[in-house]
């Protein structure tokens, strides 16, 4: 009987997961703009809360930071669009250079290895022409994206304006006996997500400067555009630097006359990745998101499968929220332990563990010499 009951519970649990994933996929265009609006509202929350505590009315305390954010985004959008417009003017030239490079690679493969690469070349050329055609029509096929962007200020304003109402709604759901626990959960979520969003935004702005400066010194075309675009991918943990770095790398590989530019960019991307992971993020973002890297990578893959690129951008704060909620629920501690970084500290590549390893090795060698 107990085995049957356990099997039924497992079946219902798996069915609930399947229905949840299906619902997230079906409602993708509705849900991810809301999630973006919620996360961006956490980004503005400290300033809004500060202005409100100084006596400014809530509507005005929300509108001032929101207008500042909109002005920054408009200037950034104008900058990127101007650079894209200049890039589109040079697109036929870059297309010819890319085709010439692909043909050179094809001749090298046939000459060195005797492998016929005609189909491979035709496939790449066909895709390049398709990309060029799609790029020329990009501004006429993004009405959905434009609508999502225009709705973000509305969502941010509403989340910030009704934040107290949402909090009381949550407290009414959990009941009076769990009110103090719920208040602690809400405060912890606000603290963790706010610090994470502020930290990541700061890191991305610093990387915009570093990437653009580095690409300018390397000497490739459109360093500011490529630097900003590659830095924006740093919102995605672990993969972001390499995904963003692959854009200027491929651009240099397919359009520059010398392979030296691509090699320099590859080295530069590795240096930036090391700098961001070991210096920038630990000191700016900190350890506010205490989730182990394996779960983060699985979450990024799942987010990409469900919502695409938007899923990869929002999955880490959502996992942090889930972890905070699970920490307060009875019987959920095994799942909290699975999500968190505990249990592998002695295997981590840290200075303390390296010193301990060398100390153990010296003691072992000394013991063997004495024997």
**Helix, strand or coil, per DSSP, at residue 329:** coil
Kindly give the residue spans of alpha helices, DSSP state H, lying in the chain.
Answer: 2-26, 28-53, 58-89, 91-113, 118-136, 143-161, 163-174, 179-218, 223-232, 240-255, 259-275, 281-284, 293-307, 309-328, 333-339, 351-370
Contact 210, 61 (CB under 8 A): no
Domain extents in the chain? 27-161, 175-288, 295-344
- On the question of pLDDT at 333 being above 80, the answer is yes
Q: How confident is the model at residue 64 (pLDDT cuts 50, 70, 90)?
A: very high
pTM, rounded to two decimals: 0.76
Half-sphere exposure (Cβ direction) of 6: Cα atoms closer than 13 Å: 3
Q: What distance in Å separates the CA atoms of residue 88 and residue 218, rounded to the nearest whole number?
A: 22
Give the C-alpha distances (Å, rounded to integers) separating 40 from 81, 158, 201.
Answer: 23, 12, 10
Q: How confident is the model at residue 139 (pLDDT cuts 50, 70, 90)?
A: very low
Residues 6+ apart with CB under 8 A from 222: 83, 86, 87, 251
Residues 6+ apart with CB under 8 A from 246: 269
Q: Token pair 């200049």 is at which residue? A: 86
Poorest-pLDDT segment among 149-158, 246-255, 296-305: 246-255
Q: Which helix (H) or strand (E) holds 56?
A: none
| Between residues 116 and 47, the one the model is more confident about | 47
- On the question of pLDDT at 234 being above 60, the answer is yes
Per-residue pLDDT of 252-304, as tens digits, reads: 887 777 788 888 999 998 888 888 877 887 777 766 678 888 888 898 889 88
Mean pLDDT, residues 303-319: 88
Q: How confident is the model at residue 348 (pLDDT cuts 50, 70, 90)?
A: low
Tokens encoding 202? 């700061």
Residue 133 is predicted with a pLDDT of 46
């Amino acid at each position: 009987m107990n085995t049957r009951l356990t099997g039924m519970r497992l079946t219902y649990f798996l069915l609930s997961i399947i229905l949840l994933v299906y619902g997230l996929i079906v409602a993708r265009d509705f849900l991810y703009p809301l999630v973006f609006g919620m996360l961006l509202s956490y980004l503005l929350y400290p300033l809004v809360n500060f202005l409100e505590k100084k006596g400014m009315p809530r509507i005005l305390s929300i509108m001032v930071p929101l207008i500042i954010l909109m002005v920054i985004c408009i200037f950034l959008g104008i900058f990127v669009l101007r650079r894209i417009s200049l890039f589109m003017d040079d697109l036929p030239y870059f297309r010819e250079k890319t085709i010439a490079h692909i043909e050179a690679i094809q001749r090298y493969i046939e000459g060195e290895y005797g492998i016929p690469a005609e189909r491979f070349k035709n496939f790449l050329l066909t895709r390049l022409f398709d990309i060029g055609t799609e790029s020329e029509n990009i501004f006429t096929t993004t009405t959905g994206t434009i609508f999502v962007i225009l709705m973000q200020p509305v969502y941010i304003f509403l989340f910030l304006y009704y934040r107290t109402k949402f909090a009381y709604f949550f407290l009414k759901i959990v009941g009076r006996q769990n009110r103090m626990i719920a208040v602690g959960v809400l405060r912890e979520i606000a603290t963790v997500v706010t610090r994470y969003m502020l930290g990541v935004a700061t890191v991305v702005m610093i990387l915009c400067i570093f990437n653009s400066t580095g690409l300018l010194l390397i000497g490739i075309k459109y360093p500011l555009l490529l630097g900003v675009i590659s830095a924006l991918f740093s919102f995605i943990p672990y993969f972001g630097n390499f995904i963003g770095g692959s854009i200027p790398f491929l651009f240099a590989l397919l359009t520059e006359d010398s392979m030296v530019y691509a090699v320099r960019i590859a080295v530069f991307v590795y240096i930036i990745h090391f700098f961001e992971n070991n210096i920038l993020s630990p000191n700016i973002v900190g350890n506010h998101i205490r989730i182990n890297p394996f779960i983060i990578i699985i979450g990024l893959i799942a987010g990409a499968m469900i919502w695409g690129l938007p899923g990869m951008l929002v999955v880490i704060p959502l996992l942090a929220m889930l972890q905070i909620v699970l920490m307060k629920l009875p019987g959920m501690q095994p799942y909290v332990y699975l999500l968190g970084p505990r249990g592998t500290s002695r295997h981590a590549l840290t200075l303390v563990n390296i010193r301990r390893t060398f100390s153990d090795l010296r003691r072992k060698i000394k013991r063997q010499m004495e024997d």
